[in-house]
Structure 1
């Protein structure tokens, strides 16, 4: 068994493994899974983005409900549940964000402009037409514009989807909940 000279040991490596030949890695490159500043790399960028978004929603809920009285468990007031949901969202966001640093995950997908604009246009068209045209035409417009957001359906399945959603909305909101919505123009 031969002994290794001290010049072959890397003091920066955790196990001080022997060096066998020239290194192809630059001196300032990150080593062994950590960044050069000591921070762990983000292994799951999609989880990181989701965790930060959930945390932001939770913090927003806490900020919006900051002046509402919470009461006690025996006497719950109007701010109790929004505050609890906000705290749970912050906690869930922290867990998802922490998980993004510990386990491998998916990278961030590229932003799809077609779904973003298609869904936004569908929702805005529904909001702008439900008062004037009525619930059924507004739902049909929503379904038609929403169909443009992704891979379009053929006309027959699209018509069946629109009819089923319009009937479901009338049954739920007008008959079931008794909301004063105009059904037809």
Structure 2
């Protein structure tokens, strides 16, 4: 078979891989049945749906001709690095890292760090715009997760709250 769109082909393979991994991981929870769903039911169905979408995208890439063959370009290493670094930093700052004696810094600090680090992936990022975005995200996250959903996790660093 001839691949007619490289981007769609590899995107479909990625969807299938993530969908299968997600569905497989969901089987470690109690799945239940349609009338009495367990905690693994929704992730299992979501993973299956993602894998089916991946199969459709991959099939389309093999059948439908694209204008230029939709070749895959070079890897964007700089954005990839900053996006991954931002997410790892967010997790470490939100929950802390006891093995390295890094304390939990809380939701607000973690969101500001995430926003500033991931914004550096953009070619011409500006401090002011990033600061406004981080502030909006921090306020929105506080309202959604702490006020509305009443989730229990540190909002501020322990040295501020005591």
Same-fold call, TM cutoff 0.5? yes
CA gap 1:165/1:152 in 2 versus in 1, 3 angstroms:
farther
Alignment of 1:159-170 (within 5 A): 159-170=131-142
Matched, 1:127 2:91: yes
Alignment of 1:73-88 (within 5 A): 73-88=34-49
Question: Comparing 137-146 with 151-160, which one deviates more in the overlay?
Answer: 151-160
**How well do the aligned residues superpose, as a CA RMSD in angstroms?**
2.1
Q: What is the deviation of 1:67?
A: 5.8
Matched, 1:113 2:85: no
Cα shift readout 1:43-95 (whole Å, capped 9, x = no counterpart): 10010001111111222233334465554444444444333323322221111
CA gap 1:101/1:161 in 2 versus in 1, 3 angstroms:
same
Distance 2:29 2:132 in 1: 45
Which stretches in structure 2 are left out of the alignment for 5+ residues?
96-103, 158-162
Which of the residues 85, 97, 112 maps onto 2:58? 97
Question: Comparing 85-94 with 137-146, which one deviates more in the overlay?
Answer: 85-94
Q: What is the deviation of 1:181?
A: 2.4
Residue number in structure 2 paired with 1:64: 25
Residue number in structure 2 paired with 1:46: 7
Which is greater in Rg? 1
Which of the residues 132, 136, 143 maps onto 2:108? 136
Q: Taking CA–CA contacts closer than 8 Å with sequence separation of 6 or more, which of the two structures ends up with the larger relative contact order?
A: 2
Residue number in structure 1 paired with 2:123: 151
Q: TM-score, normalised by structure 1?
A: 0.69
Higher helix share: 2
Distance 1:181 1:67 in 2: 26
CA gap 1:93/1:129 in 2 versus in 1, 3 angstroms:
same
How many residue pairs align between the two structures? Answer: 146
Distance 2:142 2:28 in 1: 37
The question of whether the paired residues in 1 share the 8 Å contact of 2:26 and 2:41 is answered with no
Task: Say which SS state the counterpart of residue 50 (structure 1) adopts.
Answer: helix
